[in-house]
Amino acid sequence: MTDFIDSPYVKNLAKTTENLYRHGWDERNGGNVSLRLTKDEVEAYAGTDKVLRQITIKFDASELAGKYYLVTGTGRYFKNMIEYPERDMGLVRISEAGNSVDLMWGFNDGGEPTSEFPAHLMSHIERLKKNPNQRVIMHCHPTNLVAMSFTLPLESKVFSRTLWQMHPESIVVFPEGVGVIPYMCPGTNEIGEKTANKMQDYRVVLWPHHGVFAAGDSLDETYGLVETVEKSALIYTTIQAQGGKILQSITDKDLHDLCKRFDLTPNPEFLSAAETATV
């Protein structure tokens, strides 16, 4: 059995947090990521018998009992994770009772999972119902998207359509759009519940004036999803910096054409029926 620190999971999570930091989306201890691992994956590296300690969680996660998560630690800086993975991340298993986790590896200075762990677990529950391949929940602070939450109405339709219109890749990468919740205090179960509720329909949920919660099958895919949202937000911001006057744009017909070309169904509440689409 190889040590868990040499597993691809630790390496990929450290690489991802490094990228999040370098992109400027996770200053100081901003951001948190959790990656679900299967029992076989844990077995191959860490083993599943040895529990280092138990950590209580403030949420009933019994629906996820027995599931394993590699998760970033509370108060930890993403820029350091690549150098100190065994200190700044931990591998945990949700207990049968659901009110605590078994620490299997990591957090070796007494650390604990992110303060947003209940919100992550609530979102994992909803995403797993949609698709059993979903493994990742990622929270970060993409600057241009956060800035848009000060200048646009906080409505899922407005954000989704505006982002779709900024770049043809957007509707291809997130045809369901982006969900928006009201501003709420972070680190609470209330924001977790609101986010998880939106995760029933969206893989990206905007926390106004703060950041995003995003979900995906892999770290790369989830990172790419946020990257695409933020690219569109950057283009929107740049347009405003150029005076904000739009002379031409990506039309609804163009959006329909993209969905047809890539065999996607856009959120029908945000893009009306395809009567204008090219046949």
* Chain contacts with Zn ion (rule: CB under 5 A): 211
Q: For residues 114 and 170, which CB has a smaller minimum distance to ligand 2HA in the complex? A: 114
Q: Mention every residue, 6+ apart, whose C-beta is less than 8 A from residue 129.
A: 200
Nearest approach in angstroms of CB 178 to ligand 2HA is 18
32 binds ligand 2HA, rule: CB under 6 A: yes
Site map for ligand 2HA, 158-187, x if CB under 6 A? ----------------------------x-
The side-by-side arrangement of strands in the sheet containing 68-72 is 53-56, 100-106, 89-94, 68-72, 32-37, 136-140, 211-216, 204-207, 179-180
CB 103 within 8 A of CB 124: no
**Using CB under 6 A, which of 9, 17, 21, 31 touches ligand 2HA?**
31
Alpha-helical runs (H) found in the chain:
8-22, 39-45, 85-88, 117-130, 143-151, 156-164, 168-173, 189-198, 219-241, 252-261
Stretch that binds ligand 2HA, among 29-37, 40-48, 57-65, 234-242 (CB under 6 A): 29-37
Residue 139 labelled as part of a binding site: yes
Nearest approach in angstroms of CB 115 to ligand 2HA is 6
Nearest to 13 by CA among 66, 54, 95, 73: 73
**Using CB under 6 A, which of 116, 176, 230, 252 touches ligand 2HA?**
116
116 is catalytic: yes
Nearest approach in angstroms of CB 9 to ligand 2HA is 20
Catalytic residue among 27, 86, 116, 193: 116
* DSSP, residue by residue, 126-166: HHHHH-TT--EEEEE--HHHHHHHHHS-S-HHHHHHHHHTT
Residue 209 labelled as part of a binding site: no
Catalytic residues: 116
Site residues (vs ligand 2HA, CB under 6 A)? 29-32, 114-116, 139, 186
